C-alpha cells in the first residue's frame, strides 16, 4: 500500500465530474451512485441499458481507486493486472477498450489496456502471459483459459476489480455458470477484489445479483443494486402489407415486405435491420441489394460467422456514418455505441420483451433521444405478436432469465481446468464451489462422485482400465500431468457448443468465415450457396476447409445455422393471447394489426373457429401425411413442447400408438398414422395436472429431448471431442457420436450424474414445468371446442409444415416396422 496522502472520495469524484463537464456532459445520478458505491468498497449490480454511459459508470471508479492508492501514479505503475472487464461478445471489446483509454489518457494514468479473446493472436497471448496488461478486457471462455495457465493465481493477485458486462445475457446460460465458478476462484486469489455486474432490465434483477456474488456470501452482504431508471421513449410501428390476402401463412423470411423496407432505409441516416437467424440475414442482405443495386457499398452485413476483420470494419463504418443500413443478427444486440443509428427494423418476432426493448434501444442511442423501431411480421399470425409488442414497450412485463442449477458438466470442465494449471486441493475448492448459486445445493456425495469421475472415469477402480485424466498427487493435490490431456482440454474450454465449424476459403486463398459442417455435407461439387453476402460455388472440402470460388449464378442455397430456437416468454404469450382474443371484438376495439388480419380470421372461421378467451380449440383433419390433431393453447413453444410430450405420452398409455410431434408459439400437433378417438382423449381427462411431474418425467424417456441436451453436456464435460478444424487440430480417432454415447449411458450407467443432468435440464430449462401447470389449469377452466375439419386451417398451417419434430411411440418396434411401407431408396428420394 502506498503511504502517500489518501485524497478524499469527493475530491476523486470531483475529477470524474470535471472530466464529464470537459466533454460537455453532466453525469447521470446512476453514474455518480456507482462511483460512490465502488469507492466506498461495495460490490454491486448496475442495471443500465445499452448506450446509457454504463462503461463510464465503472471504468471511472476503477481508475479513481487506483489514483487514491497510488498518488505517485504518473511516475511508476506497479506491475500486474489491476482490473478485468468481462464481455460476452468479442465484438464489444474494442468499444470498451476505447472508453477506458479515453479516461486513462485524459487523467494521464500510464495504463496498458489489453484484449484477450478468441480473436487474439498467439503472439499477443504469449506477451500477455509474460506481462499482464493493467486493464484486461476478455470473455468468459478466455478467462477460463487464463485459469488453465500455470501461475494464474500470481497473475490475478493484484487484481482489485472485475466487471461482468451484459450479465443478463450470461445469466440464463452455462457461460453464466462458467463465470460463477471463475469468480469463486478469484475471490480467493485476488484478496481485494470488487465484483460488479452490469445488466439490462430483466424480471429477476435481485436474483441476478445473488448469482453474481454468491447467495450467502459476504460480497452479497456488502453490495448494492443501482438502477439507472432512464425512461426512454420507444415507438413501435408495424410494417403492413398492402393486400392482406396475399400475406403468407408461414415463411420466416418476410421478403414480401421488401418494398416497404426500402423507403425506411432511404429516409434514415443509418438503419439496423435485425433478423433472427444468420441465414435470414444473408438472404435479406442479398435481396435488398438486388432490389436497390444503388445501395452497393452503402449497406453491410454483420453476423457471428463472418470473420473478425469484416465485423470490425462494419462496426467502425457505422460509427463513421458511412453506411445506410446493416443487416445483422443478435451479433449486434449488445453494447457498441452506434450514435448514428436512427432507425431499427425487427424482422420476425423477437420472442422476448427484453430483447425487443434492447434492439429498439439501438436507435436514438444518445440518452434522451427517442427510439423508433419498425416491426416486420414474416407471416400472418406474427402480426398478432406485433400488436402484443406495441404494448410491451409501455412497460408491461419483462421476462426472467433462469439461472442453471448443478451444471455438473461445467463443473467437471472447471475442475479439469484447475487441474491443468496448478492443480487443486478438493477441500479448498469445495468450499468455494458450494458458495456459488449454481452449486449451493450440491451434496457432499455428488462432489465425491465428481472427484472419482475425474480421476477414474467411473466410480470404481478396475485393474485393466487405462483411464487417464486427472491424477491425485501424494499430498492430495488433483493434477493433470499428461500433456496430451492438458492440450485437448484447453481446446475444449468453452460452453457454447455448435456443430463442428469448417473454415470457408477461396481456392486461391483468402479466409471468408466459418460454416457448420452439416450444411456443407449436403452440398455437391458445383452447388452454389450464399455466404457472407457472396454467391460461392462449392468445390470441395480439404483438411476441414471448405474451398469455394465466386459464382455469378443468382439463385443459391442459403446455409441455415441451427442456433437456439427462440420462444415466447410467459409475458409475451399472455399479451399475445389477449391480442388474439380481440379478434372476436368489434372492429373499432381492435388494433390495426388485428384488423388487417381480418381475411385470415375469416378463412379460419370458415374452416374452423377463432377461439375466444374462454375457449380451447382442438382441430382434427386428415391429409396425405396422416391424421393431424392440433391443439392451440397459445402458451409459447416450450410449454407446447412439454404439453405435446405429456399428452402424447398419456394417450400412448391407452393403446399402442406412434406420434410425430410439432409445435410453434401458438399450438402443437400430434400426427399419427391413425385417427385418435378425440372423445376418448377428452373423456379421460388427459389434461389433468395430477401426476404431472411423474408423467412428464416418463414422457421424457419416451422422446428424444434429453438426448439433444446430452449432446452439449457430453462436449462440455469432455466425454466427447469435437475436433478443432479452425486450429488445424485433427482428432478423428477420438471423435465419437454423442448419440452413440447416450445409448451406452442409457444401457450401462443410467445413474451417471452427467446422463441424469440431461433429463434435469430438459425439465428445468426447456419444459418449464411451472408454466405448464398454469397452462393446464387455465385449459381446465376453458370450454373445449373440438372441430373436425375438412382440410388444414390457417392456424394449423405453420405447425403442420414444421419439419423439426419430436417422436413418441408406445408400439413394439417390430409392429412399427411392419407398417412402414416405404423404404428410403435412391429412387424414393428423387
- Which span sits near another protein by CB under 8 A: 225-233, 482-490, 646-654, 680-688? 482-490
Pick between residue 443 and residue 736 the one whose CB is nearest to another protein. Answer: 736
CB of 656 to another protein, least distance (A): 13
Q: Which strand ranges, in their side-by-side order, compose the sheet holding 783-788?
A: 783-788, 615-623, 626-632, 668-672, 658-663, 806-809
| Cα separation, 654 vs 812, whole angstroms | 14
Question: Nearer to another protein by C-beta: 193 or 661?
Answer: 661
Among 21, 233, 468, 565, binds another protein (CB under 8 A): 468
- DSSP class of residue 294 equals G
Residue 761, H or E segment: helix 753-761
By CB under 8 A, tell whether 659 contacts another protein: yes
Strands 135-138 and 83-86: parallel
What residues numbered 769-808 form the site for another protein, per CB under 8 A?
Answer: 805, 807
Would you tell me how many other CB atoms lie within 10 Å of the CB of residue 498? Answer: 16
- Residue 488 interacting with another protein (CB under 8 A): yes
Q: Which of 11, 562, 734, 780 binds another protein (CB under 8 A)?
A: 734
Binding to another protein (CB under 8 A): which residues in 612-631? 625-627
Nearer residue to another protein within complex by CB, 376 or 486:
486
Residue 817 binds another protein, judged by CB under 8 A: yes
Subset of residues 212 to 251 that bind another protein, contact rule: CB under 8 A: none
- Range 250-280 burial, b when 16+ CB lie within 10 A, else e: bebbbbbbbebbeebbeebebbbbbbbbbbb
Q: Of the two residues 582 and 658, which places its CB atom closer to another protein in the complex? A: 658
C-alpha closest to that of 409 among 178, 213, 208, 187: 178
| 726: three-class secondary structure by DSSP | helix
176-179: long-range contacts, CB 8 A cutoff, minimum separation 24: 176/211, 176/403, 176/404, 177/403, 177/404, 177/407, 177/410, 177/411, 177/438, 177/495, 178/140, 178/141, 178/144, 178/410, 178/413, 178/414, 178/495, 179/86, 179/140, 179/143, 179/212
For another protein, the closer CB: 704 or 764: 704
Nearer to another protein (CB atom), residue 616 or residue 745 = 745
Cell 408454466 sits on residue: 771
Residues 405-464 binding another protein (CB under 8 A) are 453, 457-458, 462, 464
Among 142, 144, 658, 766, binds another protein (CB under 8 A): 658
Q: Which member of 720, 775, 776, 799 binds another protein (CB under 8 A)?
A: 720
Taking the least distance from each CB to another protein, the nearer of 115 and 720 is 720
Task: For residue 622, report the phi and psi dihedrals to the nearest 5 degrees.
Answer: -115, 140
Min dist CB 466 to another protein, Å, is: 4
Q: Is 736 in the site for another protein (CB under 8 A)?
A: yes
Q: Which of 660, 699, 762, 793 binds another protein (CB under 8 A)?
A: 660
Helix (H, G, I), strand (E, B) or coil at 774: helix
* Residue 578, CA distances (Å) to 147, 559, 575, 668 in order: 50, 36, 5, 19
Selected binder of another protein within 383, 433, 719, 775 (CB under 8 A): 719
Provide the mask over 677-716, with x wherever binding to another protein is found by CB under 8 A and - wherever it is not: ----------------------------------------
Question: Which of the stretches 43-51, 161-169, 693-701, 719-727 binds another protein when contact is defined by CB under 8 A?
Answer: 719-727
The answer to whether residues 86 and 175 touch, using CB atoms and an 8 Å cutoff, is no
- Judged by CB under 8 A, how many residues of this single chain contact another protein? 60
Phi, psi for 386 (deg, rounded to 5): -60, -45
- Strand pairing class (658-663; 534-542): unpaired
CA distance 307 to 90: 12
Of residues 451 and 692, the one with the C-beta less far from another protein: 451
**Among positions 252, 401, 469, 760, the unique one binding another protein when judged by CB under 8 A:** 469
The rounded radius of gyration (Å) of the Cα atoms in the chain is 28
CA-CA distances (angstroms) from residue 692 to 105, 342, 405, 652, 718? 61, 49, 22, 15, 34
Tell me which of 206, 218, 290, 465 binds another protein, using CB under 8 A: 465
x/- string (CB under 8 A) for another protein, residues 346-385?
A: ----------------------------------------
Out of 26, 108, 245, 466, name the contact with another protein by CB under 8 A.
Answer: 466
Segment near another protein (CB under 8 A); pick from 124-132, 318-326, 425-433, 484-492: 484-492
In whole angstroms, what is the distance from residue 331 CA to residue 354 CA?
16
Of 101, 471, 749, 764, which lies in the binding site for another protein, with binding defined by CB under 8 A? 749
Tell me which residues touch another protein (CB under 8 A): 453, 457-458, 462, 464-469, 482, 484-485, 488-489, 625-627, 658-660, 671-674, 718-721, 733-734, 736-737, 740-741, 744-745, 747-749, 752, 805, 807, 812-814, 816-829
Amino acid at each position: 500500500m502506498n503511504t502517500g496522502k489518501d485524497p478524499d472520495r469527493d475530491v476523486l469524484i470531483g475529477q470524474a465530474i470535471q472530466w464529464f463537464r470537459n466533454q460537455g456532459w453532466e453525469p447521470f445520478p446512476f453514474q455518480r451512485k456507482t462511483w460512490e458505491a465502488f469507492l466506498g468498497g461495495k460490490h454491486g449490480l448496475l442495471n443500465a441499458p445499452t448506450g446509457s454511459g454504463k462503461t463510464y459508470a465503472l471504468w471511472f471508479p476503477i481508475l479513481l481507486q487506483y489514483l487514491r492508492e497510488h498518488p505517485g501514479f504518473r511516475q511508476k505503475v506497479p506491475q500486474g493486472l489491476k482490473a478485468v472487464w468481462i464481455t460476452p461478445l468479442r465484438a464489444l471489446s474494442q468499444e470498451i477498450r476505447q472508453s477506458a483509454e479515453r479516461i486513462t489518457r485524459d487523467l494521464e494514468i500510464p495504463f496498458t489496456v489489453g484484449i484477450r479473446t478468441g480473436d487474439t493472436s498467439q503472439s499477443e497471448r504469449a506477451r500477455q502471459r509474460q506481462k499482464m496488461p493493467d486493464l484486461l478486457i476478455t470473455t468468459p471462455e478466455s478467462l477460463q483459459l487464463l485459469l488453465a495457465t500455470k501461475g494464474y493465481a500470481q497473475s490475478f493477485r493484484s487484481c482489485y476489480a472485475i466487471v461482468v458486462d451484459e450479465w443478463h445475457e450470461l445469466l440464463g446460460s452455462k457461460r453464466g455458470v462458467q463465470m460463477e465458478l471463475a469468480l469463486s476462484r478469484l475471490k480467493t486469489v485476488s484478496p481485494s477484489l470488487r465484483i460488479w455486474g452490469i445488466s439490462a432490465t430483466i424480471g429477476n434483477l435481485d436474483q441476478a445479483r445473488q448469482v453474481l456474488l454468491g447467495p450467502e456470501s459476504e460480497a452479497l452482504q456488502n453490495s448494492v443494486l443501482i438502477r439507472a431508471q432512464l425512461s426512454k421513449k420507444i415507438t413501435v410501428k408495424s410494417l403492413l402489407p398492402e393486400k392482406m390476402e396475399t400475406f403468407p401463412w408461414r415463411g420466416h423470411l418476410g421478403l414480401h415486405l421488401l418494398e416497404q423496407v426500402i423507403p425506411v432505409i432511404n429516409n434514415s441516416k443509418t438503419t439496423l435491420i435485425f433478423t433472427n437467424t444468420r441465414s435470414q440475414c444473408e438472404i435479406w442482405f442479398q435481396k435488398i441489394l438486388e432490389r436497390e443495386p444503388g445501395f452497393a457499398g452503402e449497406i453491410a452485413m454483420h453476423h457471428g460467422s463472418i470473420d473478425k476483420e469484416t465485423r470490425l470494419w462494419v462496426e467502425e463504418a457505422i460509427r463513421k456514418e458511412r453506411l445506410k443500413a446493416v443487416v445483422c443478427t443478435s451479433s449486434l444486440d449488445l453494447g457498441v455505441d452506434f450514435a448514428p443509428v436512427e432507425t431499427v427494423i425487427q424482422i420476425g418476432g423477437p420472442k422476448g420483451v427484453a430483447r425487443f426493448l434492447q434492439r429498439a434501444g439501438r436507435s436514438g442511442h444518445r440518452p434522451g433521444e427517442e427510439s423508433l423501431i419498425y416491426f416486420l411480421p414474416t407471416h400472418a399470425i406474427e402480426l398478432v405478436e406485433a400488436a402484443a409488442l406495441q404494448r410491451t414497450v409501455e412497460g408491461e412485463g419483462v421476462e426472467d432469465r433462469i439461472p442453471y442449477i448443478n451444471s455438473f458438466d461445467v463443473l467437471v470442465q472447471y475442475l479439469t481446468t484447475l487441474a491443468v494449471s496448478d492443480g487443486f486441493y478438493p477441500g479448498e475448492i469445495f468450499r468455494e464451489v458450494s458458495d456459488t448459486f449454481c452449486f449451493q445445493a450440491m451434496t457432499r456425495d455428488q462432489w465425491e462422485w465428481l472427484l472419482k469421475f475425474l480421476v477414474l472415469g467411473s466410480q470404481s477402480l478396475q485393474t485393466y482400465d487405462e483411464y487417464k485424466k486427472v491424477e491425485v498427487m501424494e499430498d492430495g493435490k488433483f493434477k493433470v500431468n499428461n500433456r496430451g490431456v492438458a492440450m485437448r482440454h484447453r481446446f475444449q474450454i468453452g460452453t457454447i457448443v455448435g456443430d463442428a465449424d469448417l473454415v470457408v476459403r477461396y481456392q486461391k486463398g483468402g479466409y471468408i468465415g466459418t460454416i457448420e459442417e452439416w450444411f456443407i455435407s449436403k452440398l455437391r461439387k458445383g452447388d452454389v450457396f450464399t455466404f457472407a453476402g457472396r454467391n460461392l460455388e462449392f468445390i470441395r472440402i480439404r483438411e476441414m476447409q471448405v474451398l469455394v470460388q465466386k459464382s455469378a449464378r443468382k439463385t443459391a442455397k442459403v446455409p441455415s445455422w441451427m442456433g437456439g430456437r427462440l420462444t415466447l416468454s410467459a409475458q409475451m404469450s399472455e399479451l399475445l393471447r389477449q391480442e388474439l382474443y380481440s379478434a372476436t371484438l368489434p372492429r373499432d376495439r381492435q388494433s390495426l394489426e388485428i384488423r388487417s388480419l381480418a381475411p385470415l380470421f375469416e378463412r379460419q372461421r370458415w374452416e374452423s373457429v377463432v377461439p375466444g378467451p374462454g375457449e380451447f380449440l382442438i382441430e382434427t383433419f386428415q391429409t396425405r401425411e396422416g391424421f393431424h390433431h392440433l391443439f392451440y393453447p397459445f402458451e409459447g413453444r416450450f410449454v407446447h413442447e412439454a404439453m405435446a410430450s405429456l399428452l402424447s405420452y398419456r394417450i400412448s398409455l391407452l393403446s399402442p400408438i406412434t406420434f410425430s410431434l410439432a409445435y410453434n408459439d401458438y399450438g402443437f400437433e400430434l400426427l399419427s398414422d391413425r385417427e385418435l378417438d378425440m372423445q376418448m382423449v377428452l373423456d379421460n381427462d388427459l389434461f389433468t395436472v395430477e401426476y404431472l411431474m411423474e408423467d412428464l418425467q416418463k414422457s421424457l424417456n419416451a422422446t428424444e429431448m434429453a438426448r439433444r441436451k446430452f449432446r452439449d453436456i457430453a462436449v462440455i464435460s469432455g466425454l466427447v471431442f469435437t475436433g478443432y478444424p479452425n486450429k488445424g487440430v485433427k482428432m478423428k480417432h477420438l471423435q465419437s457420436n454423442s448419440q452413440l454415447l447416450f445409448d451406452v449411458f442409457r444401457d450401462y450407467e443410467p445413474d451417471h450424474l452427467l446422463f441424469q443432468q440431461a433429463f434435469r435440464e430438459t425439465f428445468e430449462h426447456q419444459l418449464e414445468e411451472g408454466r405448464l401447470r398454469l397452462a393446464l389449469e387455465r385449459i381446465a377452466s376453458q370450454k373445449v371446442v373440438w372441430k373436425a375439419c375438412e382440410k388444414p386451417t390457417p392456424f394449423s398451417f405453420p405447425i403442420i409444415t414444421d419439419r423439426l419434430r419430436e417422436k413418441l411411440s408406445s408400439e413394439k418396434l417390430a409392429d412399427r416396422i411392419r407398417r412402414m411401407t416405404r423404404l428410403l431408396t435412391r429412387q424414393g428420394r428423387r
